[in-house]
């Protein structure tokens, strides 16, 4: 993409997604995603009803009367975006490709993060780690991320979510909130990696998919190509049996994915390319409150 065209696209996405994060997500994001925990603030004299486990015994001994530690919630978060950039993201049949919708969602989350004074970083992945952007703050950093979201082209085209989750666990030492944005078309098993990553971090899964992926149109003989492997084959979509077999495959894959989220205790939302992702994200935020 030419530099002038890229900058124009960056500006368009900034205007749209920053407006969404300012006007819609400000309060919901703040309350839905908590800080790392409770940080020590000060000590004060013990009052009736205080938890005895909070007594500061050193200060109590010094003043010969009980004092307790007072804690405050740590608000600042580190937010990571795990972005699937595999070949299957270059697909869309209604209004936008999956890659475009993912870019807008990621940018909206990024602006929501910096509005809350959080750090934001990105891991681009295919079947390997394509690029790691360490978490930072500030508008310039966000614009760099948006630029990469629009213009980044991966070396590989297949998907390995397992690899991305392992990298997150190793690269980010302190607890973070990680949004995993993918269509979850992955022939490997990422279920155990989800559970392990969610023990250390707060993982949120966002599936972006296209309506045409859920069912075949009855248009007769058609050539289909796997965007990740490059394999091609002819199928007869006029056959009801073929269409039903495809739909069964899709439903089974979705059920397995949702079961993995449930087992790992991960909050998740599925968004079609034609859907209003604002409503979907707000519903996700509300579920966490």
Q: Quick one: which of 226, 187, 181 has its CA closest to 82? A: 181
Taking only the tens place, the pLDDT of each residue in 161-185 is 999 999 999 999 888 999 999 999 8
Taking only the tens place, the pLDDT of each residue in 114-150 is 888 889 999 999 999 999 999 999 889 988 998 998 8
User: Strands 119-125 and 78-84: what pairing?
Assistant: parallel
Neighbouring-strand partners of residue 129: 125
Q: Quick one: which of 234, 281, 226, 224 has its CA closest to 28? A: 281
Cβ neighbours of residue 17 under 8 Å, at least 6 residues apart? 104, 107, 108, 110, 111
Supply 24's token pair: 């819609």
Cβ neighbours of residue 275 under 8 Å, at least 6 residues apart? none
* Portion of the chain with pLDDT greater than 90, in percent: 36
Q: Quick one: which of 126, 117, 181 has its CA closest to 152? A: 126
Task: List per-block mean pLDDT (blocks of 10 residues) for the chain, which spans 289 residues.
Answer: 71 78 70 59 81 87 87 71 82 71 90 86 95 93 90 87 95 92 89 93 94 81 69 80 88 93 94 89 84
Separation of alpha carbons 161 and 32, rounded Å: 25
- Homologous superfamily assigned to 3-32+76-288: von Willebrand factor, type A domain (3.40.50.410)
Domain residue ranges of the chain, discontinuous segments joined by +: 3-32+76-288, 37-74
Do the Cβ atoms of 163 and 128 come closer than 8 Å? yes
**pTM of the model as a whole:** 0.79
Do the Cβ atoms of 9 and 152 come closer than 8 Å? no
**Mutual angle of helices 191-200 and 240-264, in 10-degree steps:** 30
Do the Cβ atoms of 77 and 113 come closer than 8 Å? yes
Supply 32's token pair: 């839905």
Q: Quick one: which of 173, 170, 192, 194 has its CA closest to 182? A: 194
């Amino acid at each position: 993409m030419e530099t002038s065209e890229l900058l124009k696209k960056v500006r368009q996405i900034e205007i749209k997604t920053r407006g969404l994060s300012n006007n819609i997500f400000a309060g919901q994001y703040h309350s839905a995603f908590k800080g790392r925990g409770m940080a020590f603030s000060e000590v004060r004299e013990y009052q009736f009803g205080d938890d005895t486990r909070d007594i500061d015994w050193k200060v109590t001994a010094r003043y010969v009367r009980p004092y307790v530690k007072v804690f405050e919630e740590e608000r600042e978060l580190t937010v990571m975006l795990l972005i699937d950039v595999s070949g299957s993201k270059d697909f869309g049949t209604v209004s936008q490709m999956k890659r475009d919708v993912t870019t807008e969602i990621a940018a909206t989350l990024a602006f929501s993060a910096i509005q809350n004074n959080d750090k934001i970083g990105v891991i681009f992945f295919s079947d390997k780690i394509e690029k790691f952007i360490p978490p930072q703050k500030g508008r310039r950093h966000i614009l760099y991320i948006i630029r990469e979201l629009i213009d980044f082209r991966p070396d590989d085209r297949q998907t390995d979510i397992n690899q991305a989750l392992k990298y997150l666990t190793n690269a980010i030492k302190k607890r973070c909130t990680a949004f995993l944005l993918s269509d979850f078309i992955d022939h490997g098993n990422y279920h155990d990696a989800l559970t392990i990553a969610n023990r250390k971090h707060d993982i949120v899964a966002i599936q972006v998919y296209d309506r045409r992926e859920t069912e075949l149109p009855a248009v007769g003989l058609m050539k289909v190509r796997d965007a990740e492997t490059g394999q091609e084959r002819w199928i007869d979509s006029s056959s009801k049996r073929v269409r039903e077999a495809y739909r069964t495959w899709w439903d089974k894959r979705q059920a397995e994915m949702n079961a993995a989220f449930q087992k790992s205790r991960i909050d998740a939302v599925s968004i079609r390319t034609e859907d209003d992702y604002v409503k979907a994200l707000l519903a996700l935020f509300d579920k966490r409150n």
